[in-house]
Amino acid sequence: MVARINTVAFSGIEVLPVDVQVQMASGLPAFTIVGLPDKAVAESRERVRAALGAIALALPPKRITINLAPADLQKEGSHFDLPIALGLLAAMGVIDHLELADYVVLGELALDGRIAPVNGVLPVAVTANAQGRGLICPQACGSEAAFSGNDRLLAPDSLLSLINHFKGTQILSPPKPDHGKDVDANSAGPLPDLADIKGQETAKRALEIAATGGHSLLMTGPPGAGKSMLAARLPGLLPPLSSAEVLETSMIHSIAGQLPNGTLSRQRAFRAPHHSASLPALVGGGAKARPGEITLAHLGVLFLDELPEFSRNTLEALRQPIETGSTLIARANAHITYPARFQLIAAMNPCRCGYLDDATRACARVPKCASEYQSKISGPLFDRIDLHIEVPAVPASDLSLPPPAEGTKEVAARVLTARKRQNMRFSAIFGESKGPGSDPATPRCNAEADGKLLEKIAKPDAEGVGLLTQAVDKMQLSARGYHRVLRVARTLADLEGEDGVRRPHIAESLSYRRLFPGQYGGL
């Protein structure tokens, strides 16, 4: 007889079914695992043998063959330990294999028989629930799996407790989701307040526009002007994630092993990788094609400080994800796609020394150093950024002013109102069933509108068309730049509560547009 256990393999965030087939046959004692196992899977036979020994069970002196089907799919990770152990127990007659037929199993075994946590439990639980199956996972991952809505969950702390459950001598209670933090928008602690920043009214306005329409933003200014402070306050302006978006982002973090204590959060991600980050670290990849920073920032903010200090190849790799909202990692034996709908916020100095416009502090190579420094950002990448602003140094007179009247709470309220207008507009166009967030192909904000949809929702009035036509000729805007001006103008109209895009919206949108990096600093 061949015992079968259902488990999974991962391809990005996609869950692929794997059939663990266990056969015990006569012959010289052996323990073989086939089906393209990686090193972690191949080593599972020693962990399984030790775990069974810890509960006073020994493998029979037979030829044991374990096949992980489909055999041509690479199997990676330690989560195959528990399904292999249960397959052996079923083949030995310790557990009835029919009781395991409707469960998907994953978990790592310790040498003493305890079940250790593994990555990716949440997407597996969601998939199992969609298939009408239960899930057996480690106890430490139980609360995470419970958010899937699957009511057939078993989360034992050890192999022995799982055996006792199926024998009827012990009852495992279904795990419950930990609601202590999952619905709290401030679960990661209080977010910094926009009221902490004095002066920089133009930058605050641009930040509000970026939050409203989901636009990318590039800030250029001398050191200490407040660029990083402004970027850190953007998550507080963004609306909380919807329930569907919470599940979407949490599945990514579950795969990456970055879902702390199995709790979910409606707070949007804020990722700020160092400029020394490698290409695989930023866009994903490596030996096991793990998700990168742009995927971990999905539906959140990716902040790149000191933008020209990143390697040229790393920055150029952002061009496709910015346009498509996903990243494709190509390997010889697999192509893995990760979602990457992130909001890019970047900051840079006008030159390497940072004091281009300060004659008393600028280096001796001005203005050539500024031209060389800014040219590290290619024209195509620069053209993909919606908003470009200069952030000047804050004068001492501004620092002595009282705190601003408006803080994060007041600005976030306007952003939320404008976002609701966008959601209503997209729902009216696509229908409620295909509204924002329900389908990855539908836009969630103005920055994602394109093609005929953009022409429909952002068509300016006659005066606006005339101004935009003149600007295209004088500023030599590309077709991409033209469309990004329309997207920002649509957002400005939403902030004012207007249905149509008018000339003032086009004019302000054009003021946030630059032709090329060398324009900064008056070059």
Beta carbons within 10 angstroms of residue 410's beta carbon: 13
Give the predicted TM-score (pTM) of the model: 0.89
Q: Of 320, 327, 252, which is closest to residue 284 (Cα–Cα)?
A: 327
- 24: three-class secondary structure by DSSP: strand
Q: Report the residue count for the chain.
A: 523
Q: Of 398, 349, 342, which is closest to residue 377 (Cα–Cα)?
A: 349
Question: Six-digit token pair at 154?
Answer: 């078993």
Q: How distant, in Å, are the alpha carbons of 279, 281, 327 from that of 286?
A: 9, 8, 14
Helix or strand (DSSP H, E) at 15: strand 14-25
CA dihedral 307, 309, 315, 316 (to 10 degrees): 120
- 4: three-class secondary structure by DSSP: strand
Q: What is the pLDDT of residue 433?
A: 53
Residue entry with tokens 């250790």: 116
Q: What is the pLDDT of residue 265?
A: 78
Q: What is the pLDDT of residue 476?
A: 87
Q: Is the peptide bond before 367 cis (omega within 30 degrees of 0)?
A: yes
pLDDT beyond 60 at 82: yes
Q: Quick one: DSSP state of residue 26? A: S
Which is more confident, 348 or 359?
A: 348
Q: What is the pLDDT of residue 185?
A: 38
Helix, strand, coil tally for the chain in percent (to 5): 45, 15, 40
Burial class, 275, CB count within 10 angstroms (exposed 0-12 / middle 13-18 / buried 19+): middle
Asked whether 375 and 518 are in contact (CB, 8 A), the reply is yes
Q: What is the pLDDT of residue 184?
A: 39
- In this predicted model, what pLDDT tens digit does every residue of 260-289 receive, in sequence order? 777 787 889 999 999 999 999 999 988 778
pLDDT beyond 70 at 233: yes
pLDDT beyond 60 at 198: yes
- In this predicted model, what pLDDT tens digit does every residue of 95-139 receive, in sequence order? 998 999 999 999 999 999 999 999 999 999 999 999 999 999 999
Cα of 252 vs its chain's centroid, Å: 6
Q: How distant, in Å, are the alpha carbons of 62, 144, 363 from that of 29?
A: 5, 40, 76
Please tell me the distance from the alpha carbon of residue 45 to that of residue 88, in angstroms, as a whole number: 11
Among the residue ranges 91-95, 292-296, 516-520, the one predicted with the least confidence is: 516-520
* Residues forming beta bridges with residue 9, ordered by sequence position: 16
Residue entry with tokens 């990243």: 327
Among the residue ranges 41-55, 79-93, 345-359, 494-508, the one predicted with the least confidence is: 345-359
pLDDT beyond 80 at 331: no
Among the residue ranges 177-191, 344-358, 449-463, the one predicted with the least confidence is: 177-191
Please tell me the distance from the alpha carbon of residue 233 to that of residue 212, in angstroms, as a whole number: 14
pLDDT beyond 80 at 247: yes
Please tell me the distance from the alpha carbon of residue 8 to that of residue 14, in angstroms, as a whole number: 10
Asked whether 129 and 247 are in contact (CB, 8 A), the reply is no
Which is more confident, 122 or 434?
A: 122
Asked whether 47 and 123 are in contact (CB, 8 A), the reply is no
Q: How confident is the model at residue 523 (pLDDT cuts 50, 70, 90)?
A: very low
Asked whether 458 and 490 are in contact (CB, 8 A), the reply is yes
Average per-residue pLDDT for the chain? 89
What DSSP string describes 295-320? HHTTTSEEEESSGGGS-HHHHHTTHH
Q: What is the mean pLDDT of residues 13-34?
A: 94
Q: What is the pLDDT of residue 359?
A: 63
Which is more confident, 76 or 188?
A: 76
Q: Of 508, 484, 483, which is closest to residue 496 (Cα–Cα)?
A: 508
pLDDT beyond 80 at 333: no
Q: What is the pLDDT of residue 335?
A: 83
Asked whether 180 and 172 are in contact (CB, 8 A), the reply is no
Q: What is the mean pLDDT of residues 296-311?
A: 95
Q: Of 295, 300, 319, which is closest to residue 232 (Cα–Cα)?
A: 300
- 105: three-class secondary structure by DSSP: strand
Burial class, 505, CB count within 10 angstroms (exposed 0-12 / middle 13-18 / buried 19+): buried
